[in-house]
Amino acid sequence: MIEELTLSGFKSFRRQQTVHFTPGVNKISGRNASGKTTLLEAILFGLFGDVPRVKKKQMLVSLGGSDLSVTVKLRSPYTGQGITIHREGGLIRSGGYRTSTSWMKVEGEDAAIAREKEIQTRLRELTGINRNAFLNIVYARQKEFIEILNPSKGRMDAILGLTTPTEIREQLREAKKKLESRGRIGDKGAFVERAKNAAESVNIEEKRLEEIKVKIIQLNEGLEEKKNLLNKAQARVTFLLGFKDRLKILEGLQNTVNSLKEIEEGRQEDLEKAMADLASSTPLKQLLRDKAAAESREAENETAYAELEADAREAGGKVSRLEHQIKDHAELQETGVTICPKCGQEIDQKLVEEDLASWKKELIEVKTQLEQIEKDMELVRSVMKNTRSSQIEVAGKIKELEQKRLQIAGIEVTLGKVDSQITEVRSELKEGLKEISDEITTKLSLTFTSLSAAVEEVRAEHLKAHSVASELQGEMRSRQGRIKDEEVHQRRCEVMLKSNRAALEETALFLREILEYEQKLLALEAIQSRCVEYEQQLRERTLAQLEYQTYNYFKRLTDQQAYSSCHIDRERYTLEVYPLGGTRALPAWRVGGGHESLFALAERLALLKVMGFPYLLILDEPTDAVDSENIPQLLEYIIRSGREINQVLLVTHHGYGEEEEVNLITVEQSNGEPKVIQNPVST
């Protein structure tokens, strides 16, 4: 199956080296730490892109190097097609590892495959085995060779392919939990109780709603009756209100008559008073004579006053001239000048003195005369003022007398108009009163003796009708309020009914869904039961075949027939053997004489056959788990297994088994680096 491995920069292999593999046994030998296991790791890296238990790929790059390259050539055991897988990668600045190239080419196919997922898928198709099965069945790491006799249950389940039913069973269990959770199976009782409560609530609300509807109908029927009575009462109120308004108009006419009569009486009193005032007043002729006399006196006084003003002006001029002359000559006398500075004549002091005495005497006389004139003027002014007051008084009396005459004439005109209005309104009142009196007697069956009596009768009837209408209105409002309250109750009831119906429908829907999920769970439980049954059958069938093939391989690998059969514990997967003539089974990992390693080899070969992959077996230092005295025998058994398996890759540091036809591959250290040496490969 594996034909060639080329590697460089991979762990201790810095330089490029190529290893050829042949069908049958390929023995890789060398001293400890020479690099034998590295060749197997390179094969795994080439096939799957990683190495088990190596978490950081940068650890695969040679110390001091930066890049690695691995190429694996193999052949499909099913199609016979050659397969080449090439991988390159290297360190990056951060110290990590990055794949730079990876591809797979298949003989007879043009295009290379570059995507890792597609590479693994195509590799599984061509080899018939996936990575997990390869690492657990085909490849036995150091110190794991004997562990197959007493394996861990989980690993053995994975080797036998029994993890799938277990995983399916677990998935079914999880699916059941999810179905129970999604289907709310645990809430079924609560939903049933909720549905019951909702159904009861629906019945209660339906009955209550029916009762409310009947009550509303009854209230509406009574309301219609009250409405008819109210219409009649309101019609009577309106009818009486019409009479009341008409009577109010007549009352207004009566009030108008009364008001006009009061006006007439008031005007008559005003007329009589005005006539009395006019009779007691001074006659107009006398007033006119007084006015003419006052005007004549005023003219005489004005003339006298004008003459006095002229005399006063003349006397004032004399006083001013005399005072000026006296002043000027007094100054000349005081200074003693002899020549007049104004006229240039000689001044006679004696004459000046005589003139001054004469002028002073005249000045006194003129001033006395002026004072008398001013007194006379003041007297005339006083007389003129009194005369003017008398004149104004007479004019006022004349005007007042004329106003009284006009007032009397106005009052007489007003009295005529008022008398005419009274006659007109009384006529209108009489006609209206007669008309409404007949209607009230006919339509209301009421009689009255006066307008005020009619007003009182109609007002009383109107109040009575209005009271009846108000009472009916109150009853209607009360009934309408009760109807509204019932309608509110109806709406609330309908909302509650709708809510309860919705809750009932929702709950019914949940219950239907729960029922559906219960059916699904029943189907799932049936599948689970079938899955458990299938798992048990598969385990029994696989282990029965495995223990049978293990015993057959054991017999073919040795001529020491010391055991009658093999048995694998169904729970622990421990291999047990029955010695010849014995009844008790012994654990295979406790038998001696090298049989322990033989049983381990036989069971691994049986596993490959049972799993349908008898093409390749890789053993890495299987002798590490075997006593030194049994190593030659184990290696001999392994070499013989090459007859059962198409290809065996054996890594060991022992030199046994080289007498067989094997492909000997030796790894030696040369100048601190591993070097692969192998005998010519026969084809």
More confident residue, 127 or 527: 127
- Contact (CB, 8 A) for 9 and 69: yes
Cβ neighbours of residue 240 closer than 8 Å, sequence gap 6 or more = 444, 458, 461, 462, 465
More confident residue, 436 or 417: 417
pLDDT at 273 over 50: yes
Determine the Cα–Cα distance for residues 564 and 554; give it in Å rounded to an integer.
11
Sorting pLDDT into bands at 50, 70 and 90, what band is 549?
A: confident
Alpha helices in 558-594 (DSSP H): none
Sorting pLDDT into bands at 50, 70 and 90, what band is 81?
A: very high
The overall average pLDDT reported for the chain is 79
Kindly report, residue by residue over 313-324, the tens digit of the pLDDT. Answer: 888 888 888 888
Question: 458: buried, middle or exposed (CB in 10 Å: 19+, 13-18, 0-12)?
Answer: buried
**What is residue 629's predicted lDDT score, i.e. its pLDDT?**
54
Determine the Cα–Cα distance for residues 656 and 664; give it in Å rounded to an integer.
11
Kindly report, residue by residue over 365-376, the tens digit of the pLDDT. Answer: 888 888 888 888
Q: 13: which DSSP letter? A: B
Sorting pLDDT into bands at 50, 70 and 90, what band is 462?
A: low
More confident residue, 307 or 236: 307
**What is residue 444's predicted lDDT score, i.e. its pLDDT?**
64
Q: Are strands 663-670 and 24-30 parallel, antiparallel or unpaired?
A: parallel
Neighbouring-strand partners of residue 90: 67, 98
**What is residue 682's predicted lDDT score, i.e. its pLDDT?**
43
pLDDT at 281 over 90: no
The model's pTM is: 0.51
Structural domains of the chain in order of their starting residue, each with its CATH number: 2-150+574-678 (3.40.50.300), 288-437 (1.10.287.510)
Kindly report, residue by residue over 94-117, the tens digit of the pLDDT. Answer: 889 999 999 999 999 989 999 999
pLDDT at 220 over 80: no
Kindly report, residue by residue over 467-512, the tens digit of the pLDDT. Answer: 777 776 777 777 778 778 877 887 888 788 788 778 778 777 877 7
Helix (H) or strand (E) holding 233: helix 188-280
Kindly report, residue by residue over 504-535, the tens digit of the pLDDT. Answer: 787 778 777 777 767 777 777 777 778 778 77
Block residue for tokens 């799938």: 164
As a whole number, mean pLDDT of residues 596-610 equals 82
As a whole number, mean pLDDT of residues 422-437 equals 73
